[in-house]
Amino acid sequence: MRVVVVGAGMSGLCCARLLVRQGHEVTLVSADALDLTTSYLAAAVWFPTAVGPPEKVARWGASTYDVLAAEAAADVPGVVMRESLMLYRDRESVLPPLPGWAGEVGDVRPARPDELPPGYPYGLRFVVPLVEMPLYLPHLYAEVLAAGARHVVRRVSRLDEVLDLAPDVVVNASGMAAGALVGDDTVFPVRGQIVRVSNPGVHLSVRDEHHPGGRAYVHPRSEDCILGGTLDVGDWHTEPDPAETAAILERCIDIAPRLADAEVLESVVGLRPGRREVRVELDEDLLPVPVVHDYGHGGAGITIGWGCGEDVASLVGELAAP
């Protein structure tokens, strides 16, 4: 099949790689350079945030965990398995049943007292994939092109503007733009401000989802650390707020005191493509050719990207079957 994939962030590139490997003739269409996508700036840690529905997210998340774990083992650029600590302020949170995400992660154990920062009574330790997107996204893109896909740089204002490329099927993986492109008014922004700092020797990812100052997370990468962050539903502002930068730093130092020595490199804002439920489905009404949607990944596009891509590839495969 001739497949046009609109979008070259995590979602579009996962779909494209799977489709090209299935033998389809793939054309990527995207408006922005890789480093201007939401995917590029993501903290990109495996963790289901602001995304639904839970059962599908669990399945997509489990597949993606496995793909990324295999890529980490194969030294794919940017992918590592990261020791992690989830902090809690009350004991109930760490008693069984464990939170839903723990099912996909496998080994989750209570943190020892000596593993906890000052003031925290409880925590869970586990290992999850962490993806350094400035390394991984170009790698994926290069793989897709090397496998035979081509790339058309084009900004479309409606999905039918790709019909001149004569597709048999269109995959809509356009992230935040998907709502406008297909007239879906249930897509909304979930603004995220994060701070990139130098890494003063932090090796553990740490999170406190219930810090009184707001959500706090620290994700060490090879050269820097990503500190977060905000989750502002419905907020379209893409300028970083200096007061928020200071607040993020303060609460991240609470959970990883070593960061007091870190140098601030930059603050960045991205708009997570929010939707009550991720939309991965076949749509035969929108265009004269079938469309397979893959958008609305909220704060979990890296966590579920491969799982969603596998469903997209199956749907395209069914269309191709005689």
Ligand X SMILES: Cc1cc2nc3c(=O)[nH]c(=O)nc-3n(C[C@H](O)[C@H](O)[C@H](O)COP(=O)(O)OP(=O)(O)OC[C@H]3O[C@@H](n4cnc5c(N)ncnc54)[C@H](O)[C@@H]3O)c2cc1C
Phi, psi (deg, nearest 5) at residue 302: -85, -30
Cβ atoms within 10 Å, residue 253: 18
Distances in Å between the Cα of 310 and the Cα atoms of 16, 60, 173, 234 are: 10, 9, 13, 29
Residue closer to ligand X, measured from CB, 27 or 30:
30
Q: Is 7 in the site for ligand X (CB under 6 A)?
A: yes
Q: Is 274 in the site for ligand X (CB under 6 A)?
A: no
Instruction: Choose which of 1, 2, 25, 31 interacts with ligand X (CB under 6 A).
Output: 31
Of residues 288-317, those binding ligand X (CB under 6 A): 295, 297-303
Binding segment (CB under 6 A) for ligand X, from list 9-17, 92-100, 143-151, 195-203? 9-17
Instruction: Choose which of 3, 16, 26, 42 interacts with ligand X (CB under 6 A).
Output: 42
Phi, psi (deg, nearest 5) at residue 203: -120, -10
- The identity of residue 134, as a single letter, is P
By CB atoms closer than 10 A (0-12, 13-18, 19+), residue 151 is middle
Q: How far is the CB of 217 from ligand X (least distance, A)?
A: 8
Residue closer to ligand X, measured from CB, 248 or 253:
248
Of residues 43-62, those binding ligand X (CB under 6 A): 43-45, 47
The dihedral of CA 43, 129, 225, 9: what is its sign? negative
Instruction: Choose which of 167, 220, 273, 274 interacts with ligand X (CB under 6 A).
Output: 273
Cα distance between residue 235 and residue 219, in whole Å: 24
Q: How far is the CB of 289 from ligand X (least distance, A)?
A: 17
Q: How far is the CB of 300 from ligand X (least distance, A)?
A: 4
User: Using an 8 Å Cβ cutoff, are 72 and 131 in contact?
Assistant: no
Q: How far is the CB of 18 from ligand X (least distance, A)?
A: 14
Taking each helix axis from N to C end, the angle separating 301-320 and 54-73, rounded to the nearest 10 degrees, works out to: 100
Tokens 């992690």, located at residue: 84
Instruction: Choose which of 27, 174, 199, 267 interacts with ligand X (CB under 6 A).
Output: 174
Q: Is 270 in the site for ligand X (CB under 6 A)?
A: yes
Question: Which helix H or strand E contains 41, and what residues bound it?
Answer: helix 38-41
Binding segment (CB under 6 A) for ligand X, from list 36-44, 93-101, 199-207, 236-244? 36-44
Which residues contact ligand X (rule: CB under 6 A)?
A: 6-12, 29-32, 37-39, 42-45, 47, 155-156, 173-177, 192, 194, 229, 270, 272-273, 295, 297-303
